[in-house]
Structure 1
Amino acid sequence: MLSLRNFWRRYRRTVFVTVGVLGSGYFLYKLYNAKRHRVAVLERELAEREKFIKAQMQAHFDNIQRIADTTTLPHAMDNLSSRIAEELDHSQLTERLQKAKGQPNSLTHSEKLELWDRIKILSFTRMVLSLWAMTMLSLYIRVQVNILGRHLYINTARDLGSSYSLVSPYLYSHFYVSHQILPFCSRRTHFANPDRIILSSSSLANADTIDWDDEQMYLASADFLSNYGLPTLISDVQAAATEILKGKKVTSAFNTTELHETIVLILERFKSLRSPHRWVNYMMPEDARFYKLATASSSDNEIPPEATKFYQLMMETQAVLASAEFGSIVEIALKAVLGTLIEDVVAQSGGSLTSGMALAKLLARVAQMGPMLLGEPSKNQFIQIIQSVPEVELFFTLLYANMPTP
């Protein structure tokens, strides 16, 4: 008993320190374990929330693309096809040549050459114009529906009071781009600085609600090319075709390579006729306020204010079309479509174009390409080719998730 008392007297401080250290360690361990458990629960909840957001955004993004394919694009493409067929019809010229076969003296040699030259210019003009217009219209409408869809998604999320949905475009873009699209993209595509167009959650929260009339007016502006921009577009393409085809006789032999080079040269010459962002003025009005005023009812004499949602949507669209990224996408899409177009012409010629055939004989097949390029979107292989290009898919995913502001 005495020895135990002496031991306690001698080592009690050590015992207290040891017990204190062990107790503190146990207490800290319990705190750490509890915190780790809470973190694990939060991480699990965050993972579930992000999974829900990704699924939600994927479904919404897919629906937006379907809207473009099944509603807006078919109407606009049909309108464009009718207008081009009306403006670039050369059937009367062909009929005059056909009649001249049965009446040898009805046309002089120079008149026949002039008719052939006009048919040559019109045939190539229609094909190149259809190629360019189909590509631009399909891309333009996708720009529209992705801009509008993103605004509508933000409005819906705000109305529901879902704070995490407001930042979901950012989360979705990083997941979708990183895991599904980027691995398949060519290094040719260069997005100068995608992060510069990220919208913050505060800016999303401040987005105005889209008025129904503004929404309908915005989607209807897809017909601007057919109703207003087409005359200038035809004039410019025809001028380019005339210059490139000058000196190419209808009796000259054309092969696959020469046909491809001729179309490329016409496109390049056409591009050089306008400013670097030449396509903007063909596709949309220079000032959206005057376009809205012109299309409004005659009883409405007020000039719409600059702050209307329609004007904002149009300015955002104009900023996208004028961007270097969009220009890169246009070039990639045109190149993809042109490759398939040449293959179709070769197939229709039975392979004879590979070795070479007279330009006069080729013109009939060239003329057939215009209506094919502007066919019904659901059956149009060229539109499907554009949509399947990885760089195009990447561009619109980024546009839907985060967009440049004018």
Structure 2
Amino acid sequence: MLASARGFWARHRRKILVSLGVAGAGYAAYRLYDAHRAQLLRVEQLRAREEQAADDLVKNQLQEHFEKVQSICDTTTLPLAMHQLCENITSQLDISKLTDKLRQGKAESRALTPKEKYDTWEEIKIKSFTKTVSSMWAMTLLSLYTRVQVTILGRHLYLDFARATHGAQLQEESDTFSENGHKSFLTTADYLPTGKINAYIMHMQHAATEVLKEKQLKDLMSTDEVLQTVLQILDLFMNLCEDNSWIKYLVPDDASVQAQLMAVSTSGFDDSSLLNDFRKLEQLMAETRVVLAREDNFLV
């Protein structure tokens, strides 16, 4: 038996050694491959954690920036616009001179003729309703406008993040509209209180005059009747604004003024980043018009 085994070994020793060598080399290669694969897996897991951490950091930065924009809108832009709006409406529709005129006519019997007294009371009636309805609707429009602005800015920030593959690219894309550009967009809320308030009041007063011409001074009005009168004035005002022309009171037709302010730096030289902000501003304003024109924005 032993002799037979020795004979087998002598005859096949070379093959056995080669087979053992191949098996050993295969096992060593497998172990090396397995170790390399485990190392690659650890590297990929580490990279995934780093990318997740970077994404979380960018998300937090975006959230902080969006909250900052919303805070600017809520604490600065909207209150300032509302203050300017109230001041201008009060100034344009002041009835103190008319009431003084009536007091003077009461003190001096010949100061006013009956027709002058009637016309003065009619003017007070129209201005009072115009002031009330103009204030209510303008505040509603301003609130709607600023909410649309914040929503659009938030959408652009989200799209920038969604398109980005890493933080550096996101930062590069986000820089296409700077923080100053965001503020410039928000400041367009001043357009109604400062730029279009006279035309807005004139339009509203025309609607009030048409509705109130059927209302006599001697007629008593209940609370419900006053509310219905206000709604009629608003309804007529919006009907007179054909093809959503009421948007022109909120959004400038063009941004030529902003272009001049943003395209030239304080040193007097062209600034390409400001020009880029202007192009982005025009895009945001165009999107604002589209959103405001949606039928579900009408509250009347």
Settle same-fold status: TM greater than 0.5: yes
Shift of 1:286: 0.7
> Could you tell me how far apart the structure 2 residues matched to 1:269 and 1:115 are?
24
Secondary structure, counterpart of 1:277 in structure 2: helix
Aligned length: 254
Superposed CA deviations along residues 75-120 of structure 1, whole A, max 9, x for unmatched, are 1111111111111111100111122222222111111000000011
> Could you tell me how far apart the structure 1 residues matched to 2:277 and 2:263 are?
15
What's 1:257 paired with? 224
Superposed CA deviations along residues 148-185 of structure 1, whole A, max 9, x for unmatched, are 3454576689999349x97xxxxxxxxxxxxxxxxxxx
- Residue 132 (structure 2) pairs with residue 105 (structure 1): no
- Residue 290 (structure 2) pairs with residue 318 (structure 1): no
> Could you tell me how far apart the structure 2 residues matched to 1:216 and 1:289 are?
17
- Shift of the 69–328 alpha-carbon distance from structure 1 to 2, 3 Å rule, reads same
Structure 2 residue identity aligned to 1:312: K
TM-score (norm 2): 0.68
Structure 2 residue identity aligned to 1:271: M
Contact 2:133-2:230 at 8 Å conserved across structures = yes
- Shift of the 279–325 alpha-carbon distance from structure 1 to 2, 3 Å rule, reads closer
Give 5+ residue unaligned stretches, structure 2. 1-44
Superposed CA deviations along residues 184-234 of structure 1, whole A, max 9, x for unmatched, are xxxxxxxxxxxxxxxxxxxx9855522354334322221111221112111
CA radius of gyration, larger in: 2
- Shift of the 145–323 alpha-carbon distance from structure 1 to 2, 3 Å rule, reads closer
Aligned counterparts, 1:182-201, within 5 A? none
Structure 1 residue identity aligned to 2:278: F
Secondary structure, counterpart of 1:323 in structure 2: helix
> Could you tell me how far apart the structure 2 residues matched to 1:113 and 1:254 are?
19
- Shift of the 56–301 alpha-carbon distance from structure 1 to 2, 3 Å rule, reads closer
1:72 aligned residue (72, 77, 89): 77
> Could you tell me how far apart the structure 2 residues matched to 1:306 and 1:60 are?
20
What's 2:182 paired with? 215
Secondary structure, counterpart of 1:254 in structure 2: coil
Contact 1:288-1:311 at 8 Å conserved across structures = no
> Could you tell me how far apart the structure 1 residues matched to 2:166 and 2:56 are?
19
Secondary structure, counterpart of 2:243 in structure 1: coil
Structure 2 residue identity aligned to 1:141: T
Contact 1:155-1:207 at 8 Å conserved across structures = yes
1:146 aligned residue (148, 151, 158): 151
> Could you tell me how far apart the structure 1 residues matched to 2:85 and 2:267 are?
29
> Could you tell me how far apart the structure 2 residues matched to 1:323 and 1:150 are?
13
2:233 aligned residue (266, 276, 285): 266
Contact 1:217-1:310 at 8 Å conserved across structures = no
1:308 aligned residue (255, 276, 300): 276
Secondary structure, counterpart of 1:249 in structure 2: coil
- Shift of the 236–301 alpha-carbon distance from structure 1 to 2, 3 Å rule, reads farther
What's 2:242 paired with? 275
Secondary structure, counterpart of 1:248 in structure 2: coil
If asked which structure has higher relative contact order (CA below 8 Å, sep 6+), I would say 1
Shift of 1:299: 9.2
- Residue 183 (structure 2) pairs with residue 230 (structure 1): no
> Could you tell me how far apart the structure 2 residues matched to 1:213 and 1:60 are?
12
Contact 1:76-1:222 at 8 Å conserved across structures = yes
> Could you tell me how far apart the structure 1 residues matched to 2:259 and 2:102 are?
46
Shift of 1:328: 1.8
- Shift of the 296–280 alpha-carbon distance from structure 1 to 2, 3 Å rule, reads farther
- Shift of the 221–296 alpha-carbon distance from structure 1 to 2, 3 Å rule, reads farther
TM-score (norm 1): 0.52
- Shift of the 259–157 alpha-carbon distance from structure 1 to 2, 3 Å rule, reads same
> Could you tell me how far apart the structure 1 residues matched to 2:172 and 2:262 are?
31
Shift of 1:261: 1.2
Contact 1:158-1:205 at 8 Å conserved across structures = no
Shift of 1:66: 3.4
Shift of 1:274: 1.8
Structure 2 residue identity aligned to 1:239: H
What's 2:5 paired with? none
Identity of aligned residues (%): 36
> Could you tell me how far apart the structure 2 residues matched to 1:115 and 1:155 are?
59
